[in-house]
Structure 1
Amino acid sequence: MTRRIIGVVLAIVLAVVGTAAVLVYVTSLKTTVEEGQKGVTVLVARARIPAGTSGTSIRSGGLTEEVVMPQSSLPDDVMINIGIEFDKLVVTSDVQPRQLLLKGMFGSQTKLSGGIAVPEKLMALSGKFEVEREVGGFVRPGSKIAVFSTCKVIDPAFKKKNETDRMATFVLLPKMEVLAVGAYGEDGQTSAQSADDRAKADAQGRVTLIVTIAASQQDAEKFVHATDLNCKLTLALLTDSSVVQVGGGIDNGTSLQ
């Protein structure tokens, strides 16, 4: 009888100890999981933030919102706020809606302007070119080009004699860098026309491409002036060994006769 009682008591003790051990294990496991899934408040873009937007503008413009995400799923440089150290920095590429803000997205504002990389001390400007005046569409971002201009020369005597305008062709800009080809689309990306659109436009003889170049103020003045005078501009692709000389040129009052 005594042995039976002792056996029952021992079984109860073992059951209690076992249950306690299981509870401790489960509690420990739950704590570990909870720590790994700890919620952290971080910043995401409320809408598309264009490249070149400063930290100050992002913060004051309400371009972000706070969301809670599991800590274990977040990168180390995720942003929980935009500190004053980011005020003079800009995002170096477009930030898409609902995208996490990361510290690595920011850089010096001198590298970007309006979402396009512009060399220091230069400016960006664009022109529209018929595809045959843009080397058949082979001009690409990073290309080095020369810009030729064909303009009307005011010469009443020549026109009276030849019943046509006197035209001159010359090198307007000897060596320029192409920054982009195509228009800035609604998706925030620089893109040219689709293949279908270009095919339709080509059938109607009106394929045009927008080419953006980097220029000094003096070169930009020449480019804009020639464009506003309705001069015809033609681009030529250059290599490292290409030789381009400014000056001279030809016109139908001398060289072509």
Structure 2
Amino acid sequence: MRRRIVLLLIAFVLAGFSATAVVAYGHSADERALEGAEGTWVLLATAAIPADTTGADIRGRKLVRQVLMPARTVPSGAITKLDPSYDKLTLNAPLQPDQMLMSGHFQHPAPAGPSPSPTFVLPSGKIAVSVELTIARQVAGNVDNGAAVTIWLTEQTGLYRRDQKTTVVVAKATVISVGERPVPTSATPTPSPAKNGATVMPTVVSSAVTVAPQDLDRYVVTVAVTPSEGARLVNGYNSGELHLGLVSTPAPSTSATPDAES
């Protein structure tokens, strides 16, 4: 019995020595790896990081971890610490897990492009509203930029087409843009000459190539109106039919100015 107890004690002592040796070995692993060399801390990605991720996001979400490596194995440009100077920079390519973070992975974000400038001048206090109209409702296509127009609305008031009324939606508005598009064309069949009495099948030839550049369809008109006029105009466009009317402008005076008496 005593002999068994002594053997158990010896076994426990040996197990303790073994555990201590394993812990010491683990703690000294980095030192042995760096023996005779200088160590450098580097950053490795803990997960896949998509491109355009900012340095602030990487640091805030803890997407990298520090690892001690021999200095001789660390490539030039490796980041040792992700400080706030990287916050506004973005990754120029995605990073894979355990990939080393390099300064070359970061770039300044692309500057925002200039906002597109409008193709028309909008008077102060007015808004631009566009409506799609046929040529007939645009005074046969004679509405141009800068023209003054009156806008009418025709609404159905009963079951029959004759049951309708027409009212003025906007008494006077300035046209600031007229949208145009090429006139749609259809293919024209051209007969082929018959041979030996065979049945002639027409050859379809597109007439698009014969359309002159000036053949454009005016399909949308943009006017400058007040916000309240714009609300009535949009409501009328969605509920009835709109028509434009050109407003005449006073002709310039042609009376001669008498010369001053000398």
TM bucket (normalised to shorter chain) is 0.3 to 0.5
**TM-score, length basis structure 2:** 0.38
Larger radius of gyration: 2
**TM-score, length basis structure 1:** 0.39
Greater helix fraction, Structure 1 or Structure 2 = 1
